Amino acid sequence: MKIVLMSGSTRQDSVNGAVLETVRHVLAGLPGEHESVSLAVADLPFYEAELERSGASAAVRAAQELVAGADALFISTPSYNGEMPGALKNALDWLSRGIGGPSALTGKVTAVASASPGARGALDAQTGLVGVLARCGARVVEHEPVAVAGAGGKATEDGRYTEPELVALVESLTGALLAEVAAAGVLV
């Protein structure tokens, strides 16, 4: 099973990147083969119809092909003024455009989490993110919100979280993602 991991943050050592590293660690401990591949939202140019028409962006084509060829998507986002960051929205705009066919997000089973040094764990950004994903045709996993509050100093040196309660939440959401993929029978 191939899962694309996307952080809404463009920072190298972000707390949302730590959520995704925790997901990667959880997947590595599960039976079966689970490949996780990161998609950096900062690698994509700003969406522009003229650029889309010309097909001039290799980074966009690679991102669309990566997501289209994956079984699932796991996104963790910060909150910028109560919403997902513009770089993540831009990436979703590009992914919602088809490669000569449907959007790479159409029917894609997707899990959503968030993290922040703040007290709410960027929970407020999840609503808008889920709304955009639904409009793009993604199948968002239903699960209690996973929002890592006070995330600033929780990651270990290898860039992931190890607090048992937090790992249990990430394991639960990851399990729900894998179960949804299996139930949907959408293995690529």
pLDDT digits (tens, 9 = 90+) for 167-177: 999 999 999 99
> 139: Cβ–Cβ under 8 A, 6 or more apart, which residues?
107, 108, 109, 110, 180, 184
Tokens of 32: 């079966």
* Homologous superfamily of domain range 2-184: Flavodoxin domain (3.40.50.360)
Report, as an integer, the average pLDDT of 137-141: 97
Beta strands in 124-168 (DSSP E): 139-140, 147-148
> What does the pLDDT read at residue 79?
96
34 pLDDT more than 80: yes
pLDDT digits (tens, 9 = 90+) for 144-154: 999 999 888 77
pLDDT digits (tens, 9 = 90+) for 69-105: 999 999 999 999 999 999 999 999 999 987 666 799 9
Check if the beta carbon of residue 26 is closer than 8 Å to that of residue 170: yes
Average pLDDT, the chain: 93
